[in-house]
Amino acid sequence: MIQFFRFVGSSIEDSHFNIITGKNNSLFFLKHSLYLILFVYSTLFLVVAIPFVKTPFIPIYFIGGFATSVFILRFVNHIVKYVRYKNGSISVNKDGLVLKEKDRVITIPAPDINYIERNFLGNLLIRQKLGKSSFPLMLLGEEDREKLISLFQDMAPRRTVIYKKIWDFVDAIVVALVLAVHIIQYIIQAYYIPTGSMEDTLKVGDHLFVEKITYGPVIPQMIFMKRPVHVSCMGLRKIRRGDIVIFRPPHDEDKDYIKRCIAVPGDRFEITNGKVYINERSIDEPYVKGITRPFNFGPGKQNEIQGVVPPGKVVVLGDNRENSQDSRYFGYLEIERIKGKAFILYWNTGQVFKLDFSRFGLIR
C-alpha cells in the first residue's frame, strides 16, 4: 500500500530498528518463496477449475500474471535490499534519520527531508531536497515496521483508511475464492439433475451434494499437463459396483454426467435378454426403470463394452435404461474422469412445496 508521511521532529521519540537476521531472515525469505509458488499455482488452478464459467478462463491468466509479476518484483527487491543492508539498521530522532547499510552510514538531517513515501515494493523512500534515499521497510520485524511508521505523520489518513479497507476486502475475496474453488474441486460440490436418465433414483429438479474424498482428488488439467491426474492413493477406497458417480463423458468435455457404476476393472460385462450379467451371473437391480438393451444412441457401439472391463476403466449405466446416454453410447469410462460420488439429496423444488421430504438424505 502506498502512503505519504511528513517528518515532524518535535513529535518523534528516539528509536532504533535493526534489519532481520538469522532465523527470522530465513523464515522471511522461505515464507515469501512459498507465497510465490502459491501465486503461480493458484493462477494456473483457477484458470481450469473456477466454477460457473467455461474453462480455461483466460482472464485469470492476466489477473494472476499481473499479481505474480508484482510479487516477483517485490521479492527481488527484498533480496537486493538485504544484500545492501545486511546487518543494517535505521535510527530516528528529532534531528533526522540515520540509515546504516552494509558498507556505509547515511545521515539525513530533518530540514532536508521533504516527505517520506512507503511504496508498493515495501521500501521507505526518503525524499530530500537534493535527492532521495531508500530503506527496506519489509526487512524489519512486523512490530518494528508498525512502530517505525507510527513515528511519522500520515499526510492523508482518511485515504489510508479507505485504501486499507479496500485491500482487506479484496484480499478476503481472493482468499475466499481460492479456498472455495479448492473445496469444490477436492471435497464437495453441489449439482442439479436436468434430465431423467437416473429415474427413479434421481429425478429432474433434484439438487444433491457430490463428495470427492472417497476416490481421491483429481488434479485438473493445468498448463504443461497432458490430462487430469487422479491421485487414487489419497482416496478412502476404489470405485465399487453400485456407486452413483459424477464424471466428464469422453464425448462431451463441457458437461457433467451422473450414472451408476455397474462394472469395475476385471469384471466380465454382458447384456443378455434385457439383463446385466457380471462375471456370467445376472445381477439384481431393483433401481432399474425399463429394459436394459445392449444399444442406445450410438450406432455400432453395442459391442464395445461386452467382455472384460480393461484396467483403469468402468462401465456406467443410467438407472432409466431406456432413456440414458451412458457406456452403451460412449463406451468404457476412464476412472480419472470421475469427479466424485453422489452423497446427499437435499432439495427438489416440487417436493419441498408439497412438504414431501421422503426422498431426501443419503443417495444409494
Q: For 70-114, give the secondary structure using H, E and C.
A: HHHHHHHHHHHHHHHHCCCEEEEECCEEEEECCCCEEEEEHHHEE
**Looking at residue 296, what is its pLDDT?**
54
- pTM for this prediction: 0.82
Pairing relationship of beta strands 3-6 and 96-100 according to DSSP bridges: unpaired
Torsion angles phi and psi, residue 235, rounded to 5: -85, 170
**Looking at residue 351, what is its pLDDT?**
84
Distance CA(357)–CA(242), nearest Å, equals: 24
Length of the chain: 364
Q: Which residues pair with 281 in a beta bridge?
A: 278
Contact 60, 47 (CB under 8 A): yes
**What does each of the 364 residues of the chain score in pLDDT, given as a tens digit?**
789 999 998 888 899 999 999 999 999 999 999 999 999 999 999 999 988 888 889 999 999 999 999 999 999 999 999 999 999 999 999 999 999 998 899 999 999 999 999 999 999 999 998 899 999 999 999 999 999 999 999 999 999 899 999 989 999 999 999 999 999 999 999 999 999 999 989 999 999 999 999 999 989 889 888 888 888 899 999 999 999 999 999 888 778 999 999 999 999 999 988 899 999 999 999 999 988 888 654 544 555 788 899 999 999 999 999 899 899 888 899 998 999 999 999 988 888 788 878 888 888 8
**Looking at residue 221, what is its pLDDT?**
87
Active site residue 164: no
Active site residue 301: no
Run of H or E residues at 49 = helix 22-49
Q: Is the peptide bond before 56 cis (omega within 30 degrees of 0)?
A: yes
Return all residues near 65 (Cβ < 8 A) that are at least 6 apart.
43
Return all residues near 95 (Cβ < 8 A) that are at least 6 apart.
9, 109, 110
Nearest to 346 by CA among 245, 205, 244, 243: 205
Out of 81, 259, 313, 339, pick the active-site residue.
Answer: 259
Domains of the chain listed by start with CATH number: 3-180 (no CATH), 187-362 (2.10.109.10)
**Looking at residue 356, what is its pLDDT?**
79
Out of 134, 197, 324, 327, pick the active-site residue.
Answer: 197
Helix axes 157-186, 22-49, angle to 10 degrees: 60
Q: Whose grid coordinates read 537486493?
A: 80
**Looking at residue 303, what is its pLDDT?**
53
Contact 181, 175 (CB under 8 A): no
**Looking at residue 241, what is its pLDDT?**
95
The alpha carbon torsion through 208, 209, 215, 219 (nearest 10 deg) reads 110
**Looking at residue 300, what is its pLDDT?**
47
